Amino acid sequence: MHIIVNGEPKQTKAETLPALLEEFSLDPKTVVVEINGKIVDRSLVPTTSLAENDTLEIVHFVGGG
Amino acid sequence: MEDALVLGGISLQSRLFIGTGKYASDSLIPEIIAQSGAEVITVALRRVGMQQEGVMDHIPKGMRLLPNTSGARTAEEAVRLAHLAKAAGCGDWIKIEVISDTRHLLPDGYETCKATEILAKEGFTVLPYMNPDLYVARSLVDAGASVVMPLAAPIGSNRGLQTKEMIGILIEELDVPIIVDAGLGSPKDACEAMEMGAQACLVNTAIAAADNPVLMAKAFKMAVCAGRSAFLAGKARVHGLGQANASSPLTGFLR
């Protein structure tokens, strides 16, 4: 399916958020995800599915002042 | 002597907050924390997959995280970043940073106030980064800021307490703690800010970009403690030109 992740168009076989994070080798405990402008609560990540043309932001903490 | 800084219901023994940006290696961070004695540490939020690696693996449990909203150009963007930071499960402290000027990196007081008001109403402990202007500071306090964080000099410039007079006015006039943030270049700057009555200092670049960041972290710790003690001790009066005042008795000289 076609989705947009952090501004980049992507093709993925993942149908759920956990599957997508695994595809990107990302630990769900270290990232926060927004789907179509709405934050996905950590507790809901395991049960969140993806849909065609979803727009995702996947962020994490980096060094900053 | 008990001298805690209470912020958002949390009692802090250390008055040195540190940042996590610009380290040659993030693996230095645990030792920096240990030597600085810091209990509060700032982090930024960015998209994954860019150059920056995640920093959380290097921050020991028990540190109080202070995520910033760097990258926000408007109040709306700052609020969005604050919500994402909270969803990351690191508590409800937020350093508001709204900057649209990319040359001087000066904070936008109006947008910062708007974001502060929204997030304080939602229950965040809001620490806004600001230009030390008395009216902006008062607006931030009215909007629910827990502290104000005036800049000493532009971010990352290491130019020291360029805004000393204006920060002095904030210390004099406001009832919330003043935490000097940005531009402090060396331990003497932090010491001076603390002697003036600032409640804490936030230091990133001056430590991270030192030749020996671990030793510099320790130096800042000592400077902040020295400045705080000097403030609490109450400084002796400064005498003017021609008013030298002998420390030793002026009688009983051998002749």
- The DSSP code sequence of B199-254 is SEEEESHHHHTSSSHHHHHHHHHHHHHHHHHHHHH-PPPPP-TT----SS-SS---
Q: What is the H or E stretch that residue A20 is in?
A: helix A17-23
CB A42 within 8 A of CB B89: yes
Shortest distance between the Cα of B233 and any Cα of chain A, in A, equals: 31
- In chain A, domain spans: 2-59
**A59 closest CB neighbour out of B47, B68, B90:** B47
Confidence band, pLDDT 50/70/90 cuts, at residue B80: very high
ipTM surpasses 0.95:
no
pLDDT tens digits, B91-115: 899 999 999 898 999 999 999 999 9
Structural tokens at position B27: 């693996």
Does residue B141 form part of some domain? yes
Cβ pair B46:A60 closer than 8 A:
yes
Identify which of B218, B79, B99 has the alpha carbon closest to the alpha carbon of residue B151: B99
CB B15 within 8 A of CB B200: yes
Does residue B164 form part of some domain? yes
Q: Would you state the pLDDT for residue B118?
A: 98
**Separation CA B43–CA B167 (nearest Å):** 25
Mean pLDDT across B74-100? 95
Known catalytic residues of B are: 95
Does residue B212 form part of some domain? yes
pTM: 0.90
Going by C-beta distance under 8 Å and a sequence separation of 6 or more, which residues neighbour residue B76?
A: none
Report chain B residues touching chain A, CB-CB < 8 A. 19-23, 26, 29, 42-49, 52-56, 65, 67-68, 70, 83-85, 87-90, 155-156, 182, 202, 204-205
Residue B199 lies in domain: 5-233
Does residue B189 form part of some domain? yes
Cβ pair A60:B54 closer than 8 A:
yes
Cβ pair A62:B52 closer than 8 A:
yes
DSSP characters over B86-143: HHTTS-SEEEE-----TTT----HHHHHHHHHHHHHTT-EEEEEE---HHHHHHHHHT
CB B118 within 8 A of CB B78: no
Structural tokens at position B132: 């030390």
CB B94 within 8 A of CB B124: yes
Structural tokens at position B202: 């936030």
pLDDT tens digits, B52-65: 678 888 999 899 99
What mean pLDDT, rounded, does chain A reach? Answer: 93
Q: Which CATH superfamily is domain A2-59 in?
A: Beta-grasp domain (3.10.20.30)
Mean pLDDT across B174-201? 97
Cα dihedral value A38, B106, A7, A59, nearest 10:
-50
Domain count, chain B: 1
Contacts of A58 in chain B (CB under 8 A): 47-49
The CATH number for B146's domain is 3.20.20.70
Structural tokens at position B94: 């937020």
**Separation CA B150–CA B137 (nearest Å):** 9
CB B199 within 8 A of CB B178: yes
Mean pLDDT across B150-177? 96
pLDDT tens digits, B12-32: 999 999 999 999 899 999 999
